[in-house]
Structure 1
Amino acid sequence: MNDSNYIWLPAPTDLTLSSDHVHIWKIDLKQPESQIQSFQKNLSSDEIARAERFYFPEHRQRFIAGRSSLRSILGRYLNIEPSQVEFEYQPRGKPLLAAKFAERKLFFNLSHSQNLALCGVSYTRTIGVDLEYIRSMSDLENLAKRFFLPKEYEVVKSLPLDQQQQIFFRYWTCKEAYLKATGDGLVQLEQIEIFLTPTEPAKLLVSGNWSLKELAPANNFAAAVVVAGTIGDLCTWEMI
Protein backbone atom coordinates (compact mmCIF):
# COMPACT_ATOMS: atom_id res chain seq x y z
CA MET A 1 0.00 0.00 0.00
CA ASN A 2 2.88 2.37 -0.68
CA ASP A 3 0.73 4.86 -2.56
CA SER A 4 -1.30 5.57 0.59
CA ASN A 5 1.67 6.99 2.50
CA TYR A 6 1.36 10.61 1.51
CA ILE A 7 3.08 13.35 3.50
CA TRP A 8 0.68 15.78 5.15
CA LEU A 9 2.07 19.31 4.90
CA PRO A 10 0.83 22.82 5.72
CA ALA A 11 -0.85 24.24 2.62
CA PRO A 12 0.95 27.01 0.73
CA THR A 13 -0.44 30.54 0.92
CA ASP A 14 -1.04 30.57 -2.82
CA LEU A 15 -3.27 27.58 -3.56
CA THR A 16 -3.69 26.52 -7.17
CA LEU A 17 -6.02 23.70 -8.21
CA SER A 18 -5.97 22.50 -11.81
CA SER A 19 -8.46 20.09 -13.35
CA ASP A 20 -6.24 17.02 -12.96
CA HIS A 21 -5.23 17.74 -9.36
CA VAL A 22 -6.96 16.67 -6.15
CA HIS A 23 -6.37 18.24 -2.74
CA ILE A 24 -7.08 16.37 0.50
CA TRP A 25 -7.17 18.26 3.80
CA LYS A 26 -6.73 16.59 7.20
CA ILE A 27 -8.64 18.29 10.02
CA ASP A 28 -8.18 17.76 13.76
CA LEU A 29 -11.68 17.98 15.28
CA LYS A 30 -10.46 17.90 18.88
CA GLN A 31 -10.04 21.56 19.79
CA PRO A 32 -10.14 23.55 23.04
CA GLU A 33 -13.42 25.24 23.92
CA SER A 34 -11.94 28.68 23.21
CA GLN A 35 -11.18 27.60 19.65
CA ILE A 36 -14.65 26.07 19.27
CA GLN A 37 -16.19 29.42 20.25
CA SER A 38 -14.02 31.14 17.65
CA PHE A 39 -15.01 28.56 15.02
CA GLN A 40 -18.69 29.10 15.78
CA LYS A 41 -18.46 32.70 14.56
CA ASN A 42 -17.93 31.38 11.02
CA LEU A 43 -21.16 29.35 10.98
CA SER A 44 -24.57 30.28 9.64
CA SER A 45 -27.61 30.38 11.91
CA ASP A 46 -28.90 27.04 10.60
CA GLU A 47 -25.51 25.42 11.25
CA ILE A 48 -25.47 26.78 14.81
CA ALA A 49 -28.99 25.43 15.33
CA ARG A 50 -27.89 22.05 14.01
CA ALA A 51 -24.87 22.04 16.35
CA GLU A 52 -27.08 22.75 19.34
CA ARG A 53 -29.23 19.70 18.59
CA PHE A 54 -26.37 17.30 19.35
CA TYR A 55 -26.88 15.58 22.70
CA PHE A 56 -23.20 14.96 23.51
CA PRO A 57 -20.89 17.99 23.82
CA GLU A 58 -18.06 16.26 21.93
CA HIS A 59 -20.35 15.66 18.95
CA ARG A 60 -21.36 19.33 18.96
CA GLN A 61 -17.71 20.39 19.12
CA ARG A 62 -16.70 18.04 16.30
CA PHE A 63 -19.47 19.39 14.08
CA ILE A 64 -18.52 23.02 14.73
CA ALA A 65 -14.80 22.33 14.17
CA GLY A 66 -15.49 20.37 11.00
CA ARG A 67 -17.93 22.83 9.46
CA SER A 68 -15.82 25.88 10.31
CA SER A 69 -12.71 24.19 8.90
CA LEU A 70 -14.62 23.29 5.74
CA ARG A 71 -15.65 26.94 5.36
CA SER A 72 -12.03 28.05 5.89
CA ILE A 73 -10.77 25.59 3.28
CA LEU A 74 -13.34 26.54 0.64
CA GLY A 75 -12.86 30.23 1.44
CA ARG A 76 -9.19 29.91 0.50
CA TYR A 77 -10.06 28.64 -2.98
CA LEU A 78 -12.87 31.17 -3.43
CA ASN A 79 -10.86 34.08 -1.95
CA ILE A 80 -13.60 34.96 0.52
CA GLU A 81 -14.01 34.86 4.29
CA PRO A 82 -15.18 31.54 5.83
CA SER A 83 -18.44 33.14 6.96
CA GLN A 84 -19.19 34.18 3.34
CA VAL A 85 -19.26 30.61 2.04
CA GLU A 86 -22.82 29.53 1.27
CA PHE A 87 -24.15 26.00 0.86
CA GLU A 88 -27.08 24.25 -0.75
CA TYR A 89 -28.09 20.71 0.16
CA GLN A 90 -29.02 17.66 -1.87
CA PRO A 91 -32.09 15.64 -0.81
CA ARG A 92 -29.85 13.23 1.14
CA GLY A 93 -28.27 16.15 3.01
CA LYS A 94 -24.96 16.35 1.12
CA PRO A 95 -23.73 19.98 1.09
CA LEU A 96 -22.76 21.69 -2.16
CA LEU A 97 -21.57 25.19 -2.83
CA ALA A 98 -24.48 27.57 -3.47
CA ALA A 99 -25.42 28.32 -7.07
CA LYS A 100 -23.79 31.77 -6.85
CA PHE A 101 -20.41 29.98 -6.85
CA ALA A 102 -21.25 27.65 -9.76
CA GLU A 103 -18.89 29.35 -12.21
CA ARG A 104 -15.94 28.44 -9.95
CA LYS A 105 -16.60 24.72 -10.67
CA LEU A 106 -15.31 23.72 -7.26
CA PHE A 107 -16.34 20.32 -5.88
CA PHE A 108 -15.73 19.04 -2.37
CA ASN A 109 -16.61 16.23 0.00
CA LEU A 110 -16.15 15.87 3.76
CA SER A 111 -15.91 12.77 5.94
CA HIS A 112 -15.22 12.42 9.65
CA SER A 113 -14.62 9.66 12.17
CA GLN A 114 -13.80 10.11 15.84
CA ASN A 115 -11.68 13.29 16.17
CA LEU A 116 -10.45 13.34 12.58
CA ALA A 117 -11.95 14.65 9.34
CA LEU A 118 -10.87 14.67 5.71
CA CYS A 119 -11.99 17.17 3.10
CA GLY A 120 -11.39 16.48 -0.58
CA VAL A 121 -11.43 19.33 -3.10
CA SER A 122 -11.36 19.10 -6.90
CA TYR A 123 -11.88 21.39 -9.87
CA THR A 124 -14.63 20.58 -12.45
CA ARG A 125 -14.98 16.96 -11.24
CA THR A 126 -17.13 15.24 -8.66
CA ILE A 127 -15.30 13.81 -5.67
CA GLY A 128 -16.05 11.44 -2.79
CA VAL A 129 -14.05 10.92 0.39
CA ASP A 130 -14.58 8.40 3.17
CA LEU A 131 -12.76 8.01 6.48
CA GLU A 132 -13.19 5.30 9.11
CA TYR A 133 -11.53 4.55 12.42
CA ILE A 134 -10.34 0.94 12.35
CA ARG A 135 -12.03 -0.70 15.32
CA SER A 136 -12.98 -4.10 16.66
CA MET A 137 -16.37 -5.36 15.47
CA SER A 138 -17.95 -8.56 16.74
CA ASP A 139 -20.11 -8.95 13.61
CA LEU A 140 -17.40 -8.07 11.08
CA GLU A 141 -17.69 -11.29 9.07
CA ASN A 142 -21.48 -11.02 8.90
CA LEU A 143 -21.23 -7.42 7.70
CA ALA A 144 -18.68 -8.40 5.07
CA LYS A 145 -20.94 -11.21 3.87
CA ARG A 146 -23.92 -8.85 3.66
CA PHE A 147 -22.31 -5.79 2.04
CA PHE A 148 -19.36 -7.16 0.04
CA LEU A 149 -19.15 -9.24 -3.11
CA PRO A 150 -18.55 -12.98 -2.50
CA LYS A 151 -14.91 -12.78 -3.62
CA GLU A 152 -14.34 -9.78 -1.33
CA TYR A 153 -15.94 -11.60 1.57
CA GLU A 154 -13.63 -14.56 0.93
CA VAL A 155 -10.59 -12.26 1.13
CA VAL A 156 -11.72 -10.96 4.53
CA LYS A 157 -12.59 -14.42 5.80
CA SER A 158 -9.26 -15.93 4.68
CA LEU A 159 -7.13 -13.54 6.74
CA PRO A 160 -6.03 -13.86 10.37
CA LEU A 161 -8.26 -12.00 12.82
CA ASP A 162 -5.71 -9.25 13.38
CA GLN A 163 -5.74 -8.39 9.64
CA GLN A 164 -9.48 -8.71 9.05
CA GLN A 165 -10.36 -5.34 10.57
CA GLN A 166 -7.96 -3.35 8.42
CA ILE A 167 -9.03 -5.10 5.21
CA PHE A 168 -12.72 -4.71 6.08
CA PHE A 169 -12.39 -0.95 6.55
CA ARG A 170 -10.26 -0.58 3.44
CA TYR A 171 -13.04 -2.20 1.41
CA TRP A 172 -15.67 -0.12 3.20
CA THR A 173 -13.99 3.27 2.67
CA CYS A 174 -13.28 2.56 -1.00
CA LYS A 175 -16.90 1.64 -1.64
CA GLU A 176 -18.29 4.56 0.35
CA ALA A 177 -15.97 7.05 -1.38
CA TYR A 178 -17.29 5.84 -4.74
CA LEU A 179 -20.91 6.16 -3.60
CA LYS A 180 -20.24 9.68 -2.34
CA ALA A 181 -18.54 10.66 -5.61
CA THR A 182 -21.40 9.39 -7.78
CA GLY A 183 -24.09 10.64 -5.41
CA ASP A 184 -26.10 7.55 -6.32
CA GLY A 185 -27.75 6.33 -3.14
CA LEU A 186 -29.51 3.59 -5.12
CA VAL A 187 -26.28 1.68 -5.70
CA GLN A 188 -25.49 -0.72 -2.89
CA LEU A 189 -22.07 -1.47 -1.42
CA GLU A 190 -22.19 -5.03 -2.74
CA GLN A 191 -22.55 -3.73 -6.32
CA ILE A 192 -19.20 -1.92 -6.21
CA GLU A 193 -16.26 -4.21 -6.93
CA ILE A 194 -12.93 -3.48 -5.27
CA PHE A 195 -9.73 -5.48 -5.73
CA LEU A 196 -7.19 -5.25 -2.93
CA THR A 197 -4.86 -7.38 -0.84
CA PRO A 198 -2.99 -6.77 2.43
CA THR A 199 0.06 -5.68 0.41
CA GLU A 200 -1.47 -4.12 -2.75
CA PRO A 201 -3.37 -0.83 -3.12
CA ALA A 202 -7.04 -0.99 -3.97
CA LYS A 203 -8.36 -0.91 -7.53
CA LEU A 204 -11.88 0.20 -8.43
CA LEU A 205 -13.52 -2.25 -10.85
CA VAL A 206 -16.61 -0.36 -12.06
CA SER A 207 -17.83 1.00 -15.39
CA GLY A 208 -17.02 4.58 -16.27
CA ASN A 209 -13.90 6.69 -15.80
CA TRP A 210 -13.23 6.88 -12.07
CA SER A 211 -9.99 7.05 -10.08
CA LEU A 212 -9.45 5.65 -6.59
CA LYS A 213 -6.65 6.35 -4.13
CA GLU A 214 -6.28 5.02 -0.60
CA LEU A 215 -5.01 7.28 2.17
CA ALA A 216 -3.44 6.71 5.58
CA PRO A 217 -4.14 9.98 7.44
CA ALA A 218 -3.32 8.61 10.91
CA ASN A 219 -2.68 5.37 12.78
CA ASN A 220 -5.72 3.07 12.89
CA PHE A 221 -7.61 5.00 10.21
CA ALA A 222 -8.56 3.87 6.72
CA ALA A 223 -9.52 6.39 4.06
CA ALA A 224 -10.11 6.63 0.34
CA VAL A 225 -10.87 9.23 -2.32
CA VAL A 226 -12.68 8.67 -5.62
CA VAL A 227 -12.76 11.26 -8.40
CA ALA A 228 -14.33 11.37 -11.85
CA GLY A 229 -11.53 11.05 -14.41
CA THR A 230 -7.82 10.73 -13.72
CA ILE A 231 -5.88 11.95 -10.71
CA GLY A 232 -2.79 13.64 -12.14
CA ASP A 233 -1.48 14.78 -8.79
CA LEU A 234 -2.80 14.33 -5.26
CA CYS A 235 -1.74 16.86 -2.62
CA THR A 236 -2.33 16.17 1.07
CA TRP A 237 -2.57 19.24 3.30
CA GLU A 238 -2.88 19.49 7.06
CA MET A 239 -5.33 22.08 8.41
CA ILE A 240 -3.53 24.27 10.94
Structure 2
Amino acid sequence: MFDIYLLNTDHFLTDIPYLRSLLSIDEWQRVERFKQKIQADKSCIARANLRIILSKYLNINPAKIIFDYNQKGKPFLKDYPHLHFNLSHTDNLIVYGISDHLMGIDIENINKKVKFQELAQRFFCPSEYILMNQINPENEAKLFYTLWTAKEAYLKAIGEGLSGGLDSIELSYNFQNEDVEITSAKIREEWQIKNCKINDNYLVSVAIKSKDELPDNLTIKKFEKY
Protein backbone atom coordinates (compact mmCIF):
# COMPACT_ATOMS: atom_id res chain seq x y z
CA MET A 1 0.00 0.00 0.00
CA PHE A 2 1.32 3.40 -0.98
CA ASP A 3 -0.69 6.63 -1.25
CA ILE A 4 0.30 10.24 -1.95
CA TYR A 5 -1.89 13.23 -1.13
CA LEU A 6 -1.48 16.85 -2.21
CA LEU A 7 -3.18 19.84 -0.63
CA ASN A 8 -3.11 23.59 -1.08
CA THR A 9 -2.84 25.45 2.23
CA ASP A 10 -4.82 28.39 0.82
CA HIS A 11 -7.94 26.21 0.91
CA PHE A 12 -7.68 25.67 4.67
CA LEU A 13 -6.85 29.12 6.06
CA THR A 14 -10.43 29.69 7.24
CA ASP A 15 -10.38 26.40 9.18
CA ILE A 16 -7.52 27.20 11.54
CA PRO A 17 -9.67 27.17 14.75
CA TYR A 18 -10.94 23.66 13.99
CA LEU A 19 -7.55 22.39 12.85
CA ARG A 20 -5.92 23.82 15.96
CA SER A 21 -8.36 21.84 18.11
CA LEU A 22 -6.94 18.60 16.69
CA LEU A 23 -3.37 19.31 17.74
CA SER A 24 -1.68 18.14 20.92
CA ILE A 25 -0.22 20.69 23.33
CA ASP A 26 3.26 19.78 22.12
CA GLU A 27 2.27 20.31 18.49
CA TRP A 28 0.67 23.66 19.18
CA GLN A 29 3.79 24.80 21.02
CA ARG A 30 5.80 23.89 17.91
CA VAL A 31 3.38 25.89 15.74
CA GLU A 32 3.63 28.95 17.99
CA ARG A 33 7.40 29.09 17.55
CA PHE A 34 6.88 30.61 14.11
CA LYS A 35 7.09 34.40 14.28
CA GLN A 36 5.09 34.98 11.09
CA LYS A 37 1.39 34.12 11.29
CA ILE A 38 1.25 32.69 7.76
CA GLN A 39 4.04 30.23 8.59
CA ALA A 40 2.32 29.25 11.83
CA ASP A 41 -0.96 28.72 9.95
CA LYS A 42 0.74 26.53 7.35
CA SER A 43 2.36 24.44 10.07
CA CYS A 44 -1.01 24.02 11.79
CA ILE A 45 -2.63 23.02 8.49
CA ALA A 46 0.13 20.51 7.77
CA ARG A 47 0.04 18.85 11.18
CA ALA A 48 -3.75 18.76 11.58
CA ASN A 49 -4.39 17.37 8.12
CA LEU A 50 -1.77 14.70 8.71
CA ARG A 51 -3.91 13.62 11.66
CA ILE A 52 -7.04 13.66 9.51
CA ILE A 53 -5.41 11.58 6.77
CA LEU A 54 -3.97 9.05 9.22
CA SER A 55 -7.32 8.75 10.99
CA LYS A 56 -8.82 7.35 7.77
CA TYR A 57 -6.34 4.46 7.87
CA LEU A 58 -6.54 3.91 11.63
CA ASN A 59 -10.29 4.47 11.98
CA ILE A 60 -9.88 6.63 15.08
CA ASN A 61 -10.53 10.25 16.03
CA PRO A 62 -7.71 12.39 14.54
CA ALA A 63 -7.28 14.23 17.85
CA LYS A 64 -6.61 10.90 19.61
CA ILE A 65 -3.54 10.02 17.54
CA ILE A 66 -0.34 10.02 19.60
CA PHE A 67 2.98 10.73 17.90
CA ASP A 68 6.39 9.68 19.14
CA TYR A 69 9.63 11.15 17.77
CA ASN A 70 13.05 9.71 17.02
CA GLN A 71 16.28 11.42 18.05
CA LYS A 72 16.24 13.54 14.87
CA GLY A 73 12.64 14.64 15.43
CA LYS A 74 10.94 12.39 12.87
CA PRO A 75 7.42 11.48 14.06
CA PHE A 76 6.17 7.91 14.08
CA LEU A 77 3.22 5.93 15.45
CA LYS A 78 4.43 3.74 18.30
CA ASP A 79 1.00 2.13 18.68
CA TYR A 80 0.69 1.45 14.93
CA PRO A 81 4.16 0.38 13.74
CA HIS A 82 2.73 -1.01 10.49
CA LEU A 83 1.75 2.45 9.21
CA HIS A 84 4.48 4.75 7.92
CA PHE A 85 4.08 8.35 6.81
CA ASN A 86 6.01 11.43 5.79
CA LEU A 87 5.20 14.93 4.58
CA SER A 88 6.92 17.78 2.78
CA HIS A 89 5.93 21.32 1.90
CA THR A 90 7.02 24.20 -0.27
CA ASP A 91 5.25 27.49 -0.96
CA ASN A 92 1.52 26.77 -0.43
CA LEU A 93 1.66 23.04 -1.25
CA ILE A 94 1.96 20.06 1.09
CA VAL A 95 2.44 16.43 0.05
CA TYR A 96 1.83 13.44 2.31
CA GLY A 97 3.02 9.89 1.78
CA ILE A 98 1.30 6.97 3.55
CA SER A 99 2.53 3.38 3.29
CA ASP A 100 2.90 0.05 5.05
CA HIS A 101 6.62 0.32 4.20
CA LEU A 102 9.23 2.74 5.50
CA MET A 103 9.08 5.79 3.23
CA GLY A 104 9.99 9.44 2.71
CA ILE A 105 8.74 12.19 0.42
CA ASP A 106 9.99 15.60 -0.75
CA ILE A 107 8.58 18.40 -2.89
CA GLU A 108 10.41 21.40 -4.34
CA ASN A 109 9.67 24.38 -6.56
CA ILE A 110 11.92 23.71 -9.55
CA ASN A 111 11.78 27.35 -10.62
CA LYS A 112 13.76 28.49 -7.59
CA LYS A 113 17.05 29.84 -8.88
CA VAL A 114 20.05 28.67 -6.90
CA LYS A 115 23.72 28.09 -7.69
CA PHE A 116 23.17 24.59 -9.06
CA GLN A 117 26.76 23.74 -9.92
CA GLU A 118 28.13 25.12 -6.67
CA LEU A 119 25.60 23.19 -4.56
CA ALA A 120 26.10 20.00 -6.56
CA GLN A 121 29.86 20.18 -6.09
CA ARG A 122 29.45 20.78 -2.37
CA PHE A 123 26.73 18.26 -1.49
CA PHE A 124 26.38 15.67 -4.29
CA CYS A 125 28.50 12.62 -5.08
CA PRO A 126 31.34 13.22 -7.60
CA SER A 127 29.53 11.24 -10.33
CA GLU A 128 26.41 13.38 -9.85
CA TYR A 129 28.42 16.59 -10.08
CA ILE A 130 29.90 15.33 -13.37
CA LEU A 131 26.37 14.60 -14.56
CA MET A 132 25.32 18.15 -13.69
CA ASN A 133 28.21 19.51 -15.76
CA GLN A 134 27.13 17.50 -18.79
CA ILE A 135 23.51 18.68 -18.85
CA ASN A 136 22.24 21.48 -21.08
CA PRO A 137 21.66 24.72 -19.13
CA GLU A 138 17.91 24.67 -19.88
CA ASN A 139 17.60 21.27 -18.15
CA GLU A 140 19.92 22.07 -15.26
CA ALA A 141 17.21 23.00 -12.74
CA LYS A 142 15.10 19.90 -13.39
CA LEU A 143 18.06 17.53 -13.03
CA PHE A 144 19.30 19.27 -9.89
CA TYR A 145 15.93 19.14 -8.15
CA THR A 146 15.28 15.57 -9.32
CA LEU A 147 18.49 14.45 -7.62
CA TRP A 148 18.00 16.71 -4.59
CA THR A 149 14.41 15.64 -3.85
CA ALA A 150 15.23 11.96 -4.36
CA LYS A 151 18.13 12.19 -1.93
CA GLU A 152 16.13 14.13 0.64
CA ALA A 153 13.19 11.71 0.38
CA TYR A 154 15.55 8.82 1.15
CA LEU A 155 17.21 10.64 4.06
CA LYS A 156 13.80 11.52 5.50
CA ALA A 157 12.69 7.91 5.14
CA ILE A 158 15.59 6.59 7.22
CA GLY A 159 14.99 9.31 9.81
CA GLU A 160 18.19 11.26 9.23
CA GLY A 161 17.11 14.31 7.25
CA LEU A 162 19.72 16.46 5.54
CA SER A 163 22.13 15.91 8.43
CA GLY A 164 22.56 12.37 7.09
CA GLY A 165 24.46 13.79 4.11
CA LEU A 166 23.17 14.09 0.55
CA ASP A 167 26.23 12.16 -0.63
CA SER A 168 25.27 9.11 1.47
CA ILE A 169 23.23 7.82 -1.48
CA GLU A 170 24.55 7.88 -5.05
CA LEU A 171 22.11 8.36 -7.91
CA SER A 172 22.14 8.43 -11.69
CA TYR A 173 19.55 9.71 -14.15
CA ASN A 174 17.86 7.85 -16.99
CA PHE A 175 17.36 10.54 -19.62
CA GLN A 176 15.20 8.29 -21.79
CA ASN A 177 12.69 7.55 -19.02
CA GLU A 178 13.32 10.87 -17.25
CA ASP A 179 13.65 9.05 -13.95
CA VAL A 180 16.22 8.79 -11.19
CA GLU A 181 18.02 5.51 -10.53
CA ILE A 182 19.88 4.32 -7.43
CA THR A 183 23.57 3.62 -8.05
CA SER A 184 24.52 2.62 -4.49
CA ALA A 185 24.36 -1.19 -4.70
CA LYS A 186 23.31 -1.99 -1.13
CA ILE A 187 20.60 0.69 -1.10
CA ARG A 188 19.37 -0.36 -4.55
CA GLU A 189 18.67 -3.88 -3.21
CA GLU A 190 16.16 -2.60 -0.65
CA TRP A 191 14.83 0.75 -1.86
CA GLN A 192 12.79 2.21 -4.69
CA ILE A 193 12.82 5.89 -5.67
CA LYS A 194 10.49 7.63 -8.10
CA ASN A 195 9.89 11.23 -9.04
CA CYS A 196 7.11 13.05 -10.87
CA LYS A 197 6.22 16.61 -11.82
CA ILE A 198 2.99 17.98 -10.41
CA ASN A 199 3.10 20.71 -13.04
CA ASP A 200 5.76 22.90 -14.66
CA ASN A 201 6.67 24.36 -11.27
CA TYR A 202 6.78 21.52 -8.75
CA LEU A 203 8.49 18.15 -8.55
CA VAL A 204 7.90 15.35 -6.02
CA SER A 205 10.17 12.42 -5.18
CA VAL A 206 9.35 9.43 -3.00
CA ALA A 207 11.63 6.79 -1.49
CA ILE A 208 10.19 3.54 -0.17
CA LYS A 209 11.89 0.55 1.42
CA SER A 210 10.52 -2.21 -0.76
CA LYS A 211 11.80 -4.63 -3.37
CA ASP A 212 8.57 -4.21 -5.33
CA GLU A 213 8.84 -1.80 -8.25
CA LEU A 214 6.91 1.43 -7.93
CA PRO A 215 4.64 2.32 -10.87
CA ASP A 216 6.22 4.47 -13.57
CA ASN A 217 3.50 7.08 -13.11
CA LEU A 218 2.84 7.99 -9.51
CA THR A 219 -0.77 8.77 -8.64
CA ILE A 220 -1.17 11.87 -6.49
CA LYS A 221 -4.57 12.38 -4.88
CA LYS A 222 -5.81 15.89 -4.24
CA PHE A 223 -6.81 16.21 -0.60
CA GLU A 224 -9.84 18.42 -0.21
CA LYS A 225 -11.70 19.50 2.89
CA TYR A 226 -12.88 16.74 5.22
Alignment TM-score, normalising by the size of structure 1: 0.83
Higher relative contact order (CA 8 A, sep 6+): 1
In structure 2, the residue matched to 1:129 is 105
Q: How far 1:23 moved relative to its partner?
A: 0.6
**Displacement of 1:40 after TM fit?**
1.2
Instruction: Select the residue among 187, 204, 207 that pairs with 1:223.
Output: 204
Aligned length: 216
Alignment of 1:91-130 (within 5 A): 91-97=71-77, 99-102=78-81, 105-123=82-100, 125-130=101-106
1:1-240 correspondence runs (5 A): 21-31=1-11, 33-97=13-77, 99-102=78-81, 105-123=82-100, 125-184=101-160, 187-199=164-176, 200-206=178-184, 207=186, 208-229=189-210, 230-231=212-213, 235-240=219-224
Superposed displacement of residue 232, structure 1: 5.5
TM-score when scaled to structure 2?
Answer: 0.87
CA distance in 2, matches of 1:81, 1:235: 27
Q: Which moved more, 1:53-62 or 1:145-154?
A: 145-154
CA distance in 1, matches of 2:96, 2:27: 18
Displacement, 1:217? 2.6
**Alpha-carbon contact 2:194-2:214 (below 8 Å) kept:** no
Amino acid at match of 1:172: W
Q: Deviations over 1:179-206 (max 9, x none)?
A: 1122246742123111115552111222
Q: Is the 8 A contact 1:39 1:64 kept in 2?
A: yes
When the two chains are superposed, the root-mean-square deviation of aligned CA atoms in Å is 1.9
Amino acid at match of 2:222: E
Unaligned runs of 5+ in 1: 1-20
